[in-house]
Structure 1
Amino acid sequence: MQRITNCLLTTENQCLMLQKPSKGWWVAPGGKMEQTETIQEAAIRELKEETGLTVEKPELQAVTTMVILDQNGDIHDEWMMFTFKAVQSTGELFEHSPEGKLQWQPINAYKTLPMADGDRFIFDHVFYGEGILYSTFYYNTEHQLLKSRRSSACQ
Structure 2
Amino acid sequence: MQRIANCILTDKDQVLLLKKPRRGWWVAPGGKMEPSETILDTVCREFEEETGLILQDPVLSGVFTMRMENKGFLEKEWMMFTFRANRYKGKRLEQSLEGELCWKPVASVPRLPTSGMDRKILTHLLTSRDLFIGKIVYTPDEQLIDYTFSSNRDAL
Tell me the alpha carbon deviations over residues 43-86 of structure 1, each in whole angstroms, 9 at most, x when there is no partner: 1111000000001000011000111112x121121100000011
- Give the Cα–Cα distance (whole angstroms) in 1 for the partners of residues 26 and 4 of structure 2: 16
Name segments (4+ residues, structure 1) moved above 6 Å. none
Residue number in structure 1 paired with 2:35: 35
- Give the Cα–Cα distance (whole angstroms) in 1 for the partners of residues 13 and 109 of structure 2: 12
Count of matched residue pairs: 154
1:3-152 alignment, distance < 5 Å: 3-70=3-70, 72-152=71-151
Query: 1:110, CA displacement in angstroms?
Result: 2.2
Query: 8 Å contact 1:64–1:134 — kept in the other structure?
Result: yes
Secondary structure of 1:42's counterpart equals: helix
- Give the Cα–Cα distance (whole angstroms) in 2 for the partners of residues 109 and 140 of structure 1: 28
TM-score (normalised: structure 2): 0.94
Name structure 2 gaps, 5 residues minimum: none
- Give the Cα–Cα distance (whole angstroms) in 1 for the partners of residues 87 and 125 of structure 2: 16
- Give the Cα–Cα distance (whole angstroms) in 2 for the partners of residues 117 and 138 of structure 1: 12
Secondary structure of 2:150's counterpart equals: strand
Query: 1:21, CA displacement in angstroms?
Result: 0.7
Query: 1:146, CA displacement in angstroms?
Result: 1.8
Query: 1:125, CA displacement in angstroms?
Result: 2.0
- Give the Cα–Cα distance (whole angstroms) in 2 for the partners of residues 119 and 49 of structure 1: 21
2:43 is matched by which residue type in structure 1? A
Query: 1:113, CA displacement in angstroms?
Result: 1.3
Give the share of equivalent positions with the same residue, in percent: 44
Query: 8 Å contact 1:130–1:152 — kept in the other structure?
Result: no
| CA distance 1:75–1:36, shift in 2 (3 Å) | same
Deviates more, 1:138-147 or 1:50-59: 138-147
Deviates more, 1:120-129 or 1:8-17: 120-129
Secondary structure of 1:34's counterpart equals: coil
